[in-house]
Amino acid sequence: MCEVAGEHAYTGNLLDGTSRLHEKNGTELRHFNFVSCFAEKAVVPAGSAVPVQADVPLWQAALLGCGVMTGIGAVRNAAKVQIGETVAVIGCGGVGLQVVAGARLAGASKIIAVDMQPANLERARKHGATHVVDASKKNVVADVMAIVPGGVDHAFEVVGRPETIRTAWDVIRAGATAIVVGLAPRGVEVSIPAIEFLSEKGLKGSLYGSANVPVELPQMIAMAGEGRINVADVVSHVTDLDGIEAAFERLRKGDGARTLVIIDEKIAGSLEGINKA
């Protein structure tokens, strides 16, 4: 993990403490997480720029370098899921669907997708889920235990809420580890009965798929080119910058999977395969 980047990522500045973005009147603007992904043009650290082949559509590269890396990387790098193991995924939005896909690629025998949105559960099936649990109607822990008595080998929390983190903890077997991928707001705390540590269960975080991006992004691009990763199917909405507030509102409500923001249609590449909403 890059400690230097961690110190600056949420300040809105670059690694040298400066911002390269300004309004016309000179007012300084902030870079979001070094990337400035809602700016038409931006300066980024050289280490944040990863070359990709010219024939890769940039919208695909954007998804591969964000949600795909985070989700599949959590399976590959943080959990190291092995063939035949069992997995539960709590939250099947844009990133959670990639956790499901990562579990499929790893050869998991049972992949249980948990979400409150029927559309997300249907997408999870397409990405490799063997079982789905509607969290709005059922007792998630009881349902997962009915599918895998004793608990799953790996659980991934991809929401960022105390209650779903606790659910991930509750559905794993003794000796297993729950991986927290979801980003919770600052100040949020999680409560776990200390006595349960006697079962040697563990709780672990995963940031950006625990990935070595310059090495793994080309691998992800190759997997997408081979059809092993379905990038287009996680996109539930396509918008431009004028629709960004509506996109954030959908995000807050948990409506849909991934919103693709197209800033420049000429360089984004063909949107073939995407069912636009």
Residue 220 lies in a domain: no
Residues 200 and 82 in one domain: yes
What secondary structure letter does DSSP report for 22?
Answer: B
As a whole-number percent, the residues of the chain with pLDDT over 70 amount to: 96
Mean pLDDT of the chain: 91
Residue 169 lies in a domain: yes
Of 103-112, 149-158, 221-230, 236-245, least confident by mean pLDDT is: 221-230
Pairing assessment for the beta strands 110-115 and 131-134 based on DSSP bridges: parallel
Q: Number of folded domains in the chain?
A: 2
Which amino acid is located at 223 in the chain? M
Q: Give the tens place of pLDDT for each residue, 238-253.
A: 999 999 999 999 888 8
Residues 78 and 203 in one domain: yes
Which amino acid is located at 156 in the chain? F
Query: What is the pLDDT averaged over residues 76-85?
Result: 98
Residues 33 and 90 in one domain: no
Report angle CA 132, 180, 171 to the nearest 5 degrees: 45
Residue 215 lies in a domain: no
Helices within the chain (DSSP H only): 3-8, 58-63, 69-73, 94-106, 118-127, 140-147, 162-170, 213-225, 244-253, 265-268
The reported pTM is 0.89
Residues 88 and 177 in one domain: yes
What domain range is 137 assigned to?
63-210
For residue 143, give the CATH number of its domain: 3.40.50.720
More reliable by pLDDT, 37 or 77: 77
Residues 45 and 67 in one domain: no
Q: What is the three-class DSSP state of 271? A: coil
